[in-house]
Amino acid sequence: MTWQAFKIKTEKKFKNQRLYSNRWGWQIQPGTQWGVGLKTEEIHALEALFGFEFPSDYREMLSVMNGFDRDQISIDPDGERADTFGGSMYKYPQDYGNSQWLTEEIHTFMDYTKAPLSAAGFDVSEIVGFVPLYGHRALVVFRDKSLSPVVSVHQGTDVIMYGNSLMEYWIHEFEFKIS
């Protein structure tokens, strides 16, 4: 699947997205669309900001889409507080500062991050950095730019593989099947 096809498929899903009043956490609002992709020079500037070159599929993704066009919504199922709007989908470069907490957490608990990557067959000695993607999910950047696994890191020590590749991750995140 190309990133353009992925964008079309997810936006179609988001168009009629259902909000769940009994679910904690951020939800994608109906009608959400992906933000405009970045130009090549903007991607290079973002790589300079992070301090490393991105995997090829992340660069391709960023050229097609970048974050959401609107905030997500958090509904309190107990009805004790008003709905809040914000987001956990990072849009770069705007959210660089807001996403660095995750990178710091990963580095603090690096052994916990390396364990599931090693178990999945990745050479953790080749990690060059991390790019926060969505909430507490991060793209793992290796020297080999054909690799793009994603980990979910929660409270530092709760780390799981969320996808062996960037596309696998997004398909898992948005719960749809490839046809």
Where exactly are the structural domains of the chain?
A: 3-173
Closest to 3 (Cα-Cα) out of 54, 66, 53: 66
Its pTM stands at 0.91
Eight-state DSSP code of residue 4? H
Q: Which helix (H) or strand (E) holds 142?
A: strand 137-142
Closest among 176, 153, 173, 157 to 165, alpha carbons compared: 173
* Exposed/middle/buried for residue 49 (C-beta within 10 Å: 0-12, 13-18, 19+): exposed
pLDDT digit string, tens, across residues 33-75: 999 999 999 999 999 999 999 999 999 999 999 999 998 888 8
DSSP 97: H
Whether 28 contacts 67, CB under 8 Å = no
- The pLDDT of 139-149, averaged and rounded, is 97
Which residues neighbour 161 within 8 Å (Cβ) at sequence distance 6 or greater? Answer: 116, 117, 119, 120, 149, 150, 151, 152
**Confidence band for 135, pLDDT divided at 50, 70 and 90:** confident
Q: What is the pLDDT of residues 156-179, one digit of tens each?
A: 788 999 999 999 999 888 876 655
What is the distance between the alpha carbons of residues 136 and 105, in angstroms, rounded to a whole number? 10
pLDDT of amino acid 178 = 56
Helix (H) or strand (E) holding 113: helix 110-119
User: From the CB of residue 114, how many other CB atoms can be counted at a distance below 10 Å?
Assistant: 18
Distance CA 154, CA 126 (A): 23
